[in-house]
Amino acid sequence: MRRLSALLFLLSFEASAQLPDKVTLEEALRIVSEGPRVAASQRDADAARADRDAAGRFANPSLSLGRSRPSGGERTIFDGDRQDQASLELPVPIFGQRSARVQVAERQVERAQWQVQSTLGETKKSAALGFVRLLVAQEQLALRLRARGEIERIRGIVSGRLENGMASRYDLARADAELSLASVGVQKAEAEVAEQAAAIAALAGVGGWRPQAQGSLESLRPTPPIDADALLDRSPALQTARAETRAAEARIELAQRERFPVPSIGVARTWTSGPFGAANFLGVSSEIPLLDTRRAQEDKARAEAAGARSRERAIEAGLRADLQRHLETLRARRAALERLRGGDTTFLEMAESAYRLGRATLFELLDARRTQLEAADARLEVLGAIAESGIEIEAISGSL
């Protein structure tokens, strides 16, 4: 067990060594597209294609060989030392069962192919959202590092004023406390960066990889979306549901065809030895559907088809509501970004100048610094939220 764990760790390490340390959004999407989730879905599609090939095959014939010998009494069955018999029986689905099975298998292949696209889209969406959050976390980390540097600089100012008798020891203690809080903010930002990088690595199937997002949040802002109905019609999730409905309806036809019995054509030859005699046989055998008419299988198929149609309508309604929600959220977040863009962040310099001249207190300077940090942090969050809304819209339409 330990050797297996060590081997898996080594393979994961080698895979992570082959991946770049810094990735763009396009590179991250390409890497996760080759991950285990998409590969598993593709194997399901391969299995569906194999089922389609199997559905088109005819049933194998049955061969029977036997020998009979007299065991006592008069020879009333055959007059010879022994009797040999060989028979061959072949089922012939003359009521369209084979074509119905092929049709169901074709629909299942179609559904599996759309399921691959849906899984690929969901994986890309998760990776894209993780990339945006990683980029936001990196920007927030850089912001908090700069904020900590500003606090260290402010502490130096307070220390100098304390030496000149223009500040109190309480001011220095207050600056030290603010510096500790800034360090905690840096640690939290570092943890968020590590968490988002690990989430992308998990989607890629390489646990030891810790990518860094390359790019800017401004470049990830989505373009204005086209018609909502056109976006919805291209949704892989909706197309998968529609393919499942078509497959369920095809199973109704199959259940109806399988209610008819499948006749079998049989040929046989019987011969005796000592003396020799032979006879040929040609016949047809068929099940008589009296006790089990297989009506329950047809009812089950109809119920499953009705359920598939209901799920399709539910998925379409849910996707339409999600799309409308993301469009409205995108407009609101763009408006919020415009309001943040109009803010003035030069008040920190004004507060520092006033503090140096003794016209403002340390609390006012620290409050100005905190307000500037919160404004910059809010702008980063809004930019990230706008990018996430665009990703959600693209994921619904399958254009990610």
pLDDT tens, 305-364?
999 999 999 999 999 898 888 888 888 888 888 887 654 556 666 776 776 766 667 777
pLDDT at 134: 94
Cβ–Cβ < 8 Å for 60, 251: no
Give domain status of residue 161, yes or no.
yes
Predicted pLDDT at 13: 44
Say which CATH number the domain at 278 has.
1.20.1600.10
Confirm whether 131 is domain-assigned: yes
Q: Give the domain range for residue 59.
A: 28-69+79-397
Would 389 be classed as within a structural domain?
Answer: yes
Q: What is the pLDDT of residues 57-104, one digit of tens each?
A: 988 999 999 988 888 777 777 778 889 999 999 999 989 999 999 999
Is residue 33 in a domain?
yes
| pLDDT tens digits for range 185-230 | 999 999 999 999 999 999 888 888 889 988 888 887 666 556 667 7
Which of these, 357, 378, 365, lies nearest to 151 by C-alpha position?
365
**First-to-last C-alpha distance (Å) of the chain:** 41
Q: What are phi and psi of 72, to 5 degrees?
A: 155, 165
Tell me if 97 is assigned to some domain: yes
Strand partners, 64: 87
What H or E segment, with its residue span, contains residue 389? helix 362-397
Q: How far is CA 342 from the centre of its chain?
A: 39
Name which residue leads in pLDDT, 160 or 132: 132
- Paired strand residues for 213: 23
Cα 57 to Cα 95, 98, 248, 287, distances in angstroms: 15, 8, 21, 21
**Are 110 and 51 a contacting pair, CB within 8 Å?**
no
Q: What confidence score (pLDDT) does residue 71 get?
A: 80
Maximum Cα–Cα distance across the chain:
136
Per-position DSSP letters for 7-55, written without gaps between them: HHHHHHHHHHHTS-SEE-HHHHHHHHHTSHHHHHHHHHHHHHHHHHHHH
Residues 236, 238, 241, 242: what is their CA dihedral angle, to the nearest 10 degrees?
Answer: -100
Domain count, the chain: 1
CA quadruple 171, 176, 177, 181: dihedral sign: positive
Per-residue confidence (pLDDT) for residue 243, from 0 to 100: 94
* Radius of gyration for the alpha carbons in the chain, expressed in angstroms and rounded: 37
For residue 2, tell me if it sits in a domain: no
**Is 261 inside a domain boundary?**
yes
Whole-prediction pTM: 0.80
| Within-domain flag for 9 | no
DSSP class of residue 165 equals: T
Give me the chain's average pLDDT, please.
85
